[in-house]
Amino acid sequence: MVDLAVSGPIARPSQWRAGFARGGPRLWIGVGLVGFFVLIALLAPLLAPHDPIEQDLLSAQLPPAWMQGGEVTFPLGTDSLGRCVLSRLMYAARTAIAVALIAASLAAIIGIAFGLIAGMFGGWIDQVVSRLIDVWMAFPPVLLSIVLAAVIGAGLTSVIAAIVVVDWTRFARVVRAETMVQLQRDYASAARALGLSRGQILRLEILPNLVPLIVTLFAVEMGIAILVEVILSFVGISVAGDVATWGGMIVEGRQVIYQAPWIMAFPIGCVILSVIGFNLLGDGLRAALDPVQRR
């Protein structure tokens, strides 16, 4: 039988290749940038020319190697305490990626759980969750993090906690709304008419449709986590001074911005590039993961 239009089998290239093609250059650039930072973070101990906390006060504030007065042993120069900027950037990437990954995962798990429950059950459960989210979002996020860090005390754990506490709402809101949209579709009605329980409908029918959305949110959230870490470092409630972070480096560089601008410039560059990378990755993945080509 032939129903017009599609006659004969469709040539279907491999799923992955087709997906990447849909993602376009955004996806490639995103994968490249994120991959670059992840690689640096993983290999920092092997790649870094110096120990990131090794001080050499005699060669403090050296400019990058290509500028006048630079030294080849410190390719990107040194900071006020004579520590190698390149090495510190690399180790800071470790911290940044780790914080982003852990914080985004926890925020996602909590947010998705709340979002699914609210979206699926509706009624008073939804009312409670939605109001909770509303109230939560009325707090200025940075302030909330600062208060939180002040309570738990500085350190990586409190940075992660601050991000999770502030950002789970991001997942919860979107997942709740999308769950409701999907439940309105007839395939959800069809599943109900087949006698599937709510849990089954959620797990077998709705969740596969939420995957692209969640993956995208997750990538974007990792970029946001990096920014939040920088902000918290900037106000001085991040990790202890001896652990290298991009935020911490920016703070240190700010004090000598006129004498040695590169100390601040390099970490800023890393932050910008990684956040752009995560955003492009999220954007590209959204297109790549959607098998339904929407016109």
Partner 1 sequence: MTAVLAVQDLHVAIGPRGKAANVLRGASLEVQAGEVRGLVGESGAGKSMLGRAVLGLLPANAVVQSGTIQFEGRDLLAMPEPERRSLLGRRIALIPQDPMTSLNPVKRVGAQISIMLRHHLALSKREALERATELLTEVAIREPRRVLDLYPHEISGGMRQRVLIAMAFACDPSLVIADEPTTALDVTVQRQVLQLVERLRQRHGAAILFVTHDLGVVAKICRTMTVLHAGRVLEDGETADVLVKPRHPYTRALLAATPRADRPAEALRPVPPALIESLWSEAHRLDRLAVAGPA
Partner 2 sequence: MSEILLRTGQLTFAYPERASSLFGRPAMREVVKRVDLAIPRGSVLGLVGESGSGKTTLGRLLVRLLQPTSGGIQFDGIEIGNLSEEKLRPLRARIQMIFQDPQSSLNPRLRLGVTLTRPLQVYGRLKGRQDRRDRAAALLDLVGLPKGFVDRYPHELSGGQRQRAGIARALALEPDFIVADEIVSGLDVSTQAHILLLLRELRARLGLTMVFISHDLSVVRVLCDDVAILQHGELVEYGPVARIFNSPQHPYTRQLLSAIPLPDVEPGWLDDASPIVPSHQQGSAA
List residues near partner 2 by CB under 8 A: 1, 3-6, 9-10, 12, 185-187, 189-197, 200, 204-205, 208-209, 211, 291-293
Q: How far is the CB of 27 from partner 1 (least distance, A)?
A: 18
Interacting residues with partner 1 (CB under 8 A): 1-2, 4-5, 7
Q: How far is the CB of 87 from partner 1 (least distance, A)?
A: 47
Nearer Cβ to partner 2 (1/46): 1
Residue 66 contacts which entry, partner 1, partner 2, none (Cβ below 5-8 A, type-dependent): none
Residue 204 contacts which entry, partner 1, partner 2, none (Cβ below 5-8 A, type-dependent): partner 2
What one-letter code names the amino acid at 54?
E
Q: How far is the CB of 200 from partner 2 (least distance, A)?
A: 7
What one-letter code names the amino acid at 67?
M
Q: How far is the CB of 20 from partner 1 (least distance, A)?
A: 17
Nearer Cβ to partner 2 (4/72): 4
Nearer Cβ to partner 1 (4/138): 4
- 17-50: buried (b, 16+ CB within 10 Å) or exposed (e) per residue? eebbebbeebbebbbebbeebbebbeebeeebeb
Q: How far is the CB of 21 from partner 1 (least distance, A)?
A: 12
Nearer Cβ to partner 1 (2/292): 2
C-alpha span between 184 and 204 (Å, rounded)? 16
What one-letter code names the amino acid at 144?
L
* H or E, element range at 126: helix 123-138
Nearer Cβ to partner 1 (2/193): 2
C-alpha span between 31 and 282 (Å, rounded)? 10
* The dihedral sign for the CA sequence 184, 188, 190, 194: negative
- Is the CB of residue 171 less than 8 Å from the CB of residue 217? yes
Nearer Cβ to partner 2 (32/291): 291
Residue 140 contacts which entry, partner 1, partner 2, none (Cβ below 5-8 A, type-dependent): none
C-alpha span between 212 and 201 (Å, rounded)? 18
- Is the CB of residue 262 less than 8 Å from the CB of residue 85? yes
